[in-house]
Amino acid sequence: MTVARQVCKNPPLTPHSSRKNNMAIQRIQGYPVLIIGAGRGGVALLEMFLGDSLAKVIAIADSDPEAPGLKLAKAHGIATYTDAIQALQACKDYADCIVYNLSHDDTVAEAAFKVFGDRRVASGPEVKLFWQMVTNLKQIKGELERSQNQLQSIIHNVMDGIITINERGEIEGFNPAAEEVFGYTKQEVVGKNVSLLMPEPDRSSHDGYIARYVSTGHSHVLGVRGREVKAVRKNGEEFPMELSASEMMLGGHRYFIGIMRDITERKRAEQKISHLAHYDYLTDLPNRALFLDILNHSVQLAKRNESKVAAMFLDLDGFKKINDTLGHDAGDLLLKEVSKRLKLSVRSADTVARVGGDEFVLVLDNIGSEENARNVANKLIAALAQPFELKGQSCRVGGSIGIALYPDDSQDAAELVKQADEAMYLAKQSGKNNSKFYRELMQARHGE
C-alpha cells in the first residue's frame, strides 16, 4: 500500500560536506527512509528501496566520501552526507522517518532520539539480520530473473510453436516459431480468440469446447500428445499440425498451453512412401499388391450386386527386342506410353496395373457378358498395334491377353489373376496379338 505524506515547508539543513547536496522538501510517495552507512549493506538496502514504492530514501550518510552507496545515491538524485548527525538533522522535518543504521556507531541511536523524540532506529543485530534478508532476497530475485530469462530464451528459440490462451480462448502468448508457422506476428494475434487459427467447423465450435471443459472437466484434447489437427495460416491455407495441449493454473487463473508443429512435409513424405508402396515407380500405375486389393473389392461388390467382373492379364509381344536394341531408357519410355494407351482404352472406373516387366493386369467391373470382355481386349490390342516413336524410330509391339471371369471361373481374386495369366500363355501360343478366355484353356486341356 502506497502512503503519501505532506512534509514540512521548512528546508532541511545543508551538510557542510557538500553544498550541492541540499535536500528539497516535497511531497513523497511511501515511508521516508534515512540510511546510515553506505558500504555493501547500505548499497543493498538502497537498491532494494529504489525498486519499491513503499519506501522513499531521502538521504544516505557515510563518513567515507568514496563509499559506493554515496555514489549510487548521487546517481539517483538522493541527498548524501558524510556526517550522520547532519543527516539526522536534515531529516527531522520528516516526522515518520525510519533510520537504518548500518554503521558501527552506537551513538546514532541516541542522536536520532534527540532529533525525533522516540526510538525509530534499526541497528546492531536487527540491521545485520535485515541486511542478510535483503541480500538473500536479491540473490533469489537474481536467480528467478535468470531462470525467467532462460525460460523465455528457450520459448523464443524453440523450433515448435508455443501458444498460450486464457479460459476465454484469447491468445496471450505466441512465440516466434508460432509466428513463422501461422504467418501472424504476436502483435496481430494477442488478445484475439485462438479459433482464428482453426478451419471450420472447429472455429465455430471452439468456444463451446472450452466452456464445456470448464464446467465438466472433460476434454478429448488436453493431455493428448501429438494429436493431428487441421490449422489455418494467415493467408487462408489449411495445413496439418501436430498438437500437444495442457492446462496450467497460475495466480488463480486457468491457462491452456499448446505446443504445435507443422507436419506438412512429414505428411507429404508419408504420402510419398505410401504411394511408392502401392504404385509402380515407372508408370505410376497400381502395383500387384494394390491391384489384388482392388480386384478383391470388385469381387465382393459383384457378389452383392450379382454382376460379373473380368480380370485380364496382358503381356507385351516384341518388348524384349526393343529393350535390347534401343536400350533400357527406350524400354522405359515404351512402358510409359503403353500405360497411357491402356488407360485410355478402358472406362475410368476400370483399373490398369503393372505387375512387373512388360506385364499388365486389368480389372473390368460390371462387365455384363463375356462378349463385352472380348471387345475390350480387342480394343486394347488395337491400341497397342499403333506404332510408338522411340528415340526417333518408329517401333511396334503387340499384346497377348488372358481373361478370367467372376463368378464363372472363380470367386477368389488371387485365383482369377492366376487363371488370366494361364489364359494369356494360350493366347501367345495361338499366334500372339489376340486374347483367350480361361474357359478356352480348360476346353483345350480337356480336348473339347
Alpha-carbon distance of 161 to 185, in angstroms, equals 12
Domain endpoint, select from 202, 235, 262: 262
* For residues 201-211, average pLDDT: 79
Residue 1 pLDDT > 60: no
* For residues 186-194, average pLDDT: 93
101 and 168 together in one domain: no
- Name the residue with higher pLDDT: 271 or 10: 271
Residue 295 pLDDT > 90: yes
What pLDDT score was predicted for residue 97? Answer: 83
- With a pLDDT cut of 70, the percent of the chain lying above it is 87
Confidence of residue 24 (pLDDT cuts 50, 70, 90): very low
* For residues 44-56, average pLDDT: 82
Residue 19 pLDDT > 60: no
Residue 15 pLDDT > 60: no
Three-state DSSP state, 275: helix
Confidence of residue 18 (pLDDT cuts 50, 70, 90): very low
Residue 245 maps to a domain: yes
Residue 351: beta bridge partners? 363
CATH number at residue 72: 3.40.50.720
71 and 106 together in one domain: yes
382 and 302 together in one domain: yes
11 and 94 together in one domain: yes
CATH number at residue 365: 3.30.70.270
108 and 29 together in one domain: yes
255 and 284 together in one domain: no
Number of domain units in the chain? 3
Residue 212 pLDDT > 50: yes
- With a pLDDT cut of 90, the percent of the chain lying above it is 50
Cα–Cα–Cα angle for 98, 102, 103, nearest 5°?
120
- Mean pLDDT, all residues of the chain: 85
Query: Who contacts 435 (Cβ-Cβ below 8 Å, separation ≥6)?
Result: 312, 374, 377, 378, 381, 400, 401, 402, 403, 427
What pLDDT score was predicted for residue 296? Answer: 96
Residue 95, domain extent? 4-135
What pLDDT score was predicted for residue 223? Answer: 62
Query: pLDDT (tens digit, 9 = 90+) per residue, 348-397?
Result: 999 999 998 999 999 999 999 999 999 999 999 999 999 999 888 899 99
337 and 434 together in one domain: yes
Residue 286 maps to a domain: yes
- Name the residue with higher pLDDT: 148 or 31: 31
Query: pLDDT (tens digit, 9 = 90+) per residue, 73-123?
Result: 999 999 999 998 888 888 888 867 888 888 877 778 778 878 877 656 776
The H-or-E segment that residue 404 falls in is: strand 398-406
Domain endpoint, select from 233, 262, 291: 262
Residue 418 pLDDT > 80: yes
Query: pLDDT (tens digit, 9 = 90+) per residue, 224-266?
Result: 777 889 999 999 999 999 988 888 888 788 888 888 899 999 9
Reading the block at residue 372, the C-alpha cell is: 463385352
What pLDDT score was predicted for residue 444? Answer: 82
Confidence of residue 28 (pLDDT cuts 50, 70, 90): low
Residue 272 maps to a domain: no
What pLDDT score was predicted for residue 181? Answer: 93
What pLDDT score was predicted for residue 155? Answer: 63
Residue 111 maps to a domain: yes
What pLDDT score was predicted for residue 23? Answer: 45
Task: List active site positions.
Answer: 358
Residue 147 maps to a domain: no
Residue 149 maps to a domain: no
CATH number at residue 240: 3.30.450.20
8 and 100 together in one domain: yes
- Name the residue with higher pLDDT: 111 or 5: 111
* For residues 252-281, average pLDDT: 90
Strands (E), 221-308: 227-232, 238-250, 253-262
* For residues 195-206, average pLDDT: 87
Residue 143 maps to a domain: no
What pLDDT score was predicted for residue 251? Answer: 79
Residue 406 pLDDT > 60: yes
19 and 130 together in one domain: yes
* For residues 47-54, average pLDDT: 80
Residue pointed to by grid coordinates 528501496:
49
258 and 383 together in one domain: no
What pLDDT score was predicted for residue 127? Answer: 66
Q: What is the DSSP string of 104-168?
A: S-THHHHHHHHHHSS--EE-HHHHHHHHHHHHHHHHHHHHHHHHHHHHHHHHHH-SSEEEEEETT
Comparing CA positions, the residue from 67, 72, 83 lying closest to residue 18 is 83
Domain endpoint, select from 232, 262, 292: 262
Entry pTM: 0.57
- Name the residue with higher pLDDT: 380 or 155: 380
Alpha-carbon distance of 109 to 103, in angstroms, equals 11
* For residues 260-283, average pLDDT: 92
177 and 210 together in one domain: yes
Residue 152 maps to a domain: no
Residue pointed to by grid coordinates 489364359:
423
- Name the residue with higher pLDDT: 223 or 215: 215
206 and 331 together in one domain: no
* For residues 191-201, average pLDDT: 92
Query: Who contacts 268 (Cβ-Cβ below 8 Å, separation ≥6)?
Result: none
